[in-house]
């Protein structure tokens, strides 16, 4: 055999071996479980990134609805969390659970964490200035003086 033929055969064998190795590796990765969880982990893919972006957009859309419906949530993040959890949690009333339970078990309830809701509020308020903490009446540069008389 000529050296070119031997090199070609070795190269083809190497490529086929690499392909088989990647197939076996992807199969074992898709069957991994996390701490005994029965849900199989999928390797990171573009589909997962799109799902995450859709979830973020969903959180932003839901926060937008709450900010429009309840103006007091524009000023208080805790009121926003309370309204969000009451409105979008299945069979869950945020006022009936301790704050620690909500803070540590939000994934169990299928809800985003506090920080995700806060970031969504910031994003919505940057896109919709009329929903920002400053009212549209105060944004004209005028001075507002409040005098409390006892």
Q: Which two tokens stand for residue 35?
A: 């701490």
Higher pLDDT, 51 or 94: 94
pLDDT of 89 over the 90 cut: no
* Residue 59 · residue 52 · CB < 8 Å: no
Instruction: Measure Cα distances from 30 to 18, 36, 48, 67 in Å.
Output: 18, 14, 14, 40
* Residue 41 · residue 32 · CB < 8 Å: yes
Would the pTM count as exceeding 0.85? no
Ramachandran quadrant class, 110 (left: phi over 0; alpha: psi -120 to 50; beta: rest): left
**Percent of the chain's residues with pLDDT above 70:** 73
14-23, 86-95, 108-117: range with lowest mean pLDDT: 86-95
pLDDT of 13 over the 60 cut: yes
pLDDT of 40 over the 60 cut: no
Round the CA-based radius of gyration of the chain to a whole number and report it.
27
Higher pLDDT, 44 or 55: 55
pLDDT band at 96 (very low <50, low <70, confident <90, very high): confident
């Amino acid at each position: 055999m000529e050296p070119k033929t031997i090199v070609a055969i070795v190269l083809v064998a190497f490529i086929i071996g690499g392909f088989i190795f990647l197939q076996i590796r992807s199969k074992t990765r898709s069957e991994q479980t996390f701490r005994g969880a029965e849900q199989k982990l999928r390797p990171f893919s573009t589909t997962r990134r799109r799902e995450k972006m859709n979830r973020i957009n969903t959180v932003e859309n839901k926060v937008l609805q709450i900010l429009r419906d309840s103006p007091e949530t524009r000023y208080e993040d805790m009121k926003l969390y309370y309204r969000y959890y009451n409105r979008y949690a299945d069979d869950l009333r945020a006022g009936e659970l301790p704050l620690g339970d909500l803070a540590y078990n939000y994934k169990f309830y299928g809800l985003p964490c506090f920080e995700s809701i806060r970031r969504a509020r910031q994003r919505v308020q940057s896109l919709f200035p009329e929903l920002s903490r400053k009212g549209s009446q105060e944004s004209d540069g005028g001075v507002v003086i409040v005098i409390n008389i006892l």
